[in-house]
Amino acid sequence: MFNSKTMRPETAWRRFVIPALTLMLLASPCFGQQTYVTRYDAFAGYTFLDSPAISLFENGFHTQFGVRATTWVSFGVDYSISAGNLTLTQNLLTPQLQQQLAAQLAPLVAAGIIPPNYSLVVPTHSRTQTITGGPQLAYRHFKQVTLFIRPSIGLIHELATPQPNPNDPVAVGVVKQLVPSGQKSDNTWFYGFGGGADFIFSKHVALRVQSDLVWDHLFSDLLQNGRWTVRFSVGPCFNFGKNIVK
């Protein structure tokens, strides 16, 4: 997705840590060791991606499948897809592109075609897909709640569709130069960390609430900065297979 200035670290931490602390407080009354832990689990639910620096909020779908090697460690795959809107402005571009744009705008300003304070603004639709694989560590000291943490390392695919105002010929022209096909996609790695909780209703059904904080730099040929993004998701988790508690 078209990017912006990086999210301030304190903002990223607030958006990730506050939900995590809330989950721990909710879990505190549910003491008692878990005696039934299945080999497999599957999750599907609602998700959002939040990049506050550009006020981008994408809604979507998130699914996971895991295999528990022991009661405290599992391995799995994770996929999400979401979509939303953002606004591309010229200060987000690489320094080289900003210089080129300034050189192209200067004659238009001199001719009185655009005002001296003209600033490029391009509304953009974004669709994001992520895929992750790896370990997850679980803490099962509470009978009705499982807490977990994990590294978040995977691949992100972004499809951006600029939608310039047709009444702004400069923006229309810039988009034709930078994105002649009308759409631009990119793939890159992201990394970070995540965690959450399963609120257990029965041996086979739970409610999963989870969040991840990750860093990526998509469209590095156009955008000068990477960004922090928070992903939050919630939905049912289904546990199945034999009991692996020894």
| DSSP strand pairing (38-51 vs 227-243) | antiparallel
Look up residue 52 and give its two tokens.
Answer: 């506050």
- Residue 212: is its pLDDT beyond 80? yes
Q: Render pLDDT for 103-135 as a digit per residue (tens, 0 to 9).
A: 999 999 999 999 999 999 999 999 999 999 999
| More confident of the two residues 16 and 71 | 71
pLDDT of residue 68: 97
Is the CATH number 3.30.70.3420 carried by domain 9-243? Answer: no
- For residues 200 and 229, is the Cβ–Cβ distance under 8 A? no
In terms of pLDDT, which residue wins out, 233 or 21?
233
148-168 average pLDDT score? 96
Residue 145 in tokens: 């709640």
Q: What pTM does this model have?
A: 0.84
Mean pLDDT of 17-22: 53
What are the extents of the domains in the chain? 9-243
For position 209, what pLDDT does the model report?
Answer: 98
Whether the per-residue pLDDT at 213 is higher than 70: the answer is: yes
Here the tokens at position 115 are: 């005002």
Q: pLDDT per residue over 86-105, tens digit each? A: 999 988 999 999 999 999 99
- Which one-letter amino acid corresponds to residue 130? T
Does the pLDDT at position 148 exceed 80? yes
Q: Report residue 180 as tokens.
A: 């002649």
Q: Read off the pLDDT of each residue in 32-40 and give the average, rounded to a whole number.
A: 90
Q: Are strands 56-68 and 205-216 parallel, antiparallel or unpaired?
A: unpaired
| Alpha carbon distance 60, 1 (integer Å) | 15
- Per DSSP, the three-state class of 24 is helix
